[in-house]
Amino acid sequence: MVNKVINDFHSNLEGYFANEAARSGFPSVAYFAEKAFLSTNYFGDLVKHLTGKSATDYIQNYAITLAQQKLLNSTLTIGEISRSLGFEYPNYFAFFFRRKTGLSPTDYRKQSE
C-alpha cells in the first residue's frame, strides 16, 4: 500500500500539471491527500517518511523540473510557462524559480544556449 501511495502521488502530480494547473492554480498537499483518501497530515508524514522530502518539497521540485524542461525545450514565454504550472503571477514564478535554482528563468534559458 505504501509504495502505491507514492506511485499514485507521482501519477496524480503528472496528471495535475498536464491537465489542471493552468486553470486551477498551483496544487496543495491537501489536494493530493484528498486524492489518496488520507488526511493531509498523515499524507505529508507518509511522503516524508518514504521519500525523505516533505510533500510540499516534492510538489515544488516536480514543478521546477517541469519548468526547466519547458525553458530548455520550448519557445513558450516565461509567462506562458508560469501559467501552465499554476502560478497566477509570472513575477512570483520567477521568484520561486530563482529561490529553487539560483537563476532567474531567463538566465536559466540563456545558460543553455
The secondary structure of 52-103, three-state, reads CCCHHHHHHHHHHHHHHHHHHHCCCCHHHHHHHCCCCCHHHHHHHHHHHHCC
pLDDT value at position 1?
A: 57
CB-count burial class (<10 Å; 0-12, 13-18, 19+) for 23: exposed
Percentage of residues of the chain with pLDDT beyond 90 = 90
The residue written with cell numbers 521546477 in the block is: 64
Q: How does pLDDT run across 16-32, given as a tens digit for each residue?
A: 999 998 889 999 999 99
Q: Which CATH superfamily is domain 2-111 in?
A: Homeodomain-like (1.10.10.60)
pTM: 0.92
Q: Estimate to the nearest angstrom the gap between the alpha carbon of 97 and the chain centroid.
A: 11
Q: What is the band of 37 on the pLDDT scale with cuts at 50, 70, 90?
A: very high
Half-sphere exposure of 97 (CA within 13 A, CB side): 27
Neighbouring residues of 15: CB distance < 8 A, sequence distance ≥ 6 = none
Percent above pLDDT 70 for the chain: 98
pLDDT 10s digits, 61-73 = 999 999 999 999 9
**Domains of the chain: which residue ranges?**
2-111
* Residue 2: band (very low, low, confident or very high) from pLDDT cuts 50, 70, 90: low
